[in-house]
Structure 1
């Protein structure tokens, strides 16, 4: 079980890069701005139709590119031709790794590809692990789907890994069965996945499962902090924050 690298606790982590205004989330410009500001970077991975790990949050392209349809229906080359609003196309994970080049910690969220936080995963994890095999900077991977982290433990055991956790409220996870959501909220897979940290919803940090992990010495990250007051409240529990909309 690799430990979370120490730099992840030393500086705030910019959610999808330091974005805002003319700088889109998960863009090269957002990542450069985070580096310039001395912040860590959190980013999201989705899969292209030709099996490449792409840095993009949504399952659908509409909100961020103005184009319709799932990201998984476009090739990496096609995605590079779309615009995020500042003239940039959707970057590959390989491109972002080359840009960051170990200058700041990189927190990588593997988005759920199953749709119900179930076991239908594998291709995105393989693409992520392949790109990270030669990366030398401080990096950690995480996912809401424990199956993704079990897979990363199997194929890339030396990369620090963790779970993204929350209360799994039904309005946000309507496709996931209620029993599955209730179970996941108690973080039962932490030990078996070989996780070394969690990144938990800042609005749910008083959950007993979080308290017990913190008491056991587990690093607690949290998401997403959007102002100084929220940061002050979150840091009563969390060892570090993921933030956006202000300078942490």
Structure 2
């Protein structure tokens, strides 16, 4: 199984993690304001998708709404209409944005990297509804876009239902202390064994683990290596020894001249 190649612009324009967010400036992560700011600055954008009770894709990172809103509980228990009415903290008059609205804002102006959050709970095969919602939203979208997920089953499902979309795996060192997964699952995913099986075109790897031999092996094959999450110019310089591009937050990565 092969994937369409990742467009080269994803290796050229630094990618704003959860868009160009700054809560002090009224731009919380994954908000419309943060997305508009990234477009205006000319950065690529990374966003996250979560599923609602009625099968819609919303642009939101966490499974529980409590960190980013004044309403606790899983976003998956709400309908899309209800989620849209939940105000984001530090965003004037903004509820949780729907995927279709974000696509209208970006409108192909900058590259868009879409992370499909694991809905299985254990990186397993219980996938489908969010992938379908993502594929439906992207049908007919004009502009550089790619999808990715930590869950290889999610990436494989995107290959099945939207083979025209470039797709990749989000990867890391999978320390069991940091993940609600079995040690066996962590050990398996750590070696990125599903890259070819799911027809991935790239990886986005945790920046502190870029010296992993498997990452260097993929790089030697010509696989684009993105990384997350960079929080300073010094860390960016270190990551770029291996990575082709960075996903950044908390500072402004230098744009190519």
TM over 0.5: yes
Q: CA deviation at 1:171?
A: 2.2
Whether 1:108 and 2:110 are equivalent positions in the alignment is: no
Q: Deviations over 1:107-129 (max 9, x none)?
A: 00000000000011110000000
Which of 17, 20, 25 in structure 2 is aligned with 1:18?
A: 20
Q: CA deviation at 1:7?
A: 1.1
Whether 1:231 and 2:236 are equivalent positions in the alignment is: yes
Quick one: distance in 1 between partners of 2:166 and 2:230? 23
Q: CA deviation at 1:23?
A: 0.9
Partner of residue 131, structure 1: 137
Partner of residue 241, structure 1: 246
Q: CA deviation at 1:10?
A: 1.3
Q: CA deviation at 1:9?
A: 1.0
Structure 1 stretches of 4+ with a deviation exceeding 6 A read: none
Secondary structure, counterpart of 2:167 in structure 1: strand
Q: CA deviation at 1:177?
A: 1.4
Whether 1:146 and 2:148 are equivalent positions in the alignment is: no
Whether 1:6 and 2:12 are equivalent positions in the alignment is: no
1:53-72 to 2 correspondences below 5 Å: 53-72=57-76
Partner of residue 171, structure 1: 177
Q: Deviations over 1:53-72 (max 9, x none)?
A: 00000000100012111000
Q: Deviations over 1:76-131 (max 9, x none)?
A: 11111111121200011000001100000000000000000001111000000011
Quick one: distance in 2 between partners of 1:88 and 1:97? 16
Partner of residue 48, structure 1: 52
Q: Deviations over 1:126-170 (max 9, x none)?
A: 000011111011000000000000000000001000000001111
Quick one: distance in 1 between partners of 2:85 and 2:136? 24
TM-score normalised to the size of structure 2?
0.95
* Structure 2 unaligned regions, length at least 5: none
Quick one: distance in 2 between partners of 1:169 and 1:109? 21
Q: Deviations over 1:183-229 (max 9, x none)?
A: 10100000111100000000000001000000010000000000011
Whether 1:210 and 2:205 are equivalent positions in the alignment is: no
* Structure 1 unaligned regions, length at least 5: none
Secondary structure, counterpart of 1:233 in structure 2: helix
Q: CA deviation at 1:180?
A: 1.1
Q: Aligned residue pairs: how many?
A: 247
Partner of residue 198, structure 1: 203
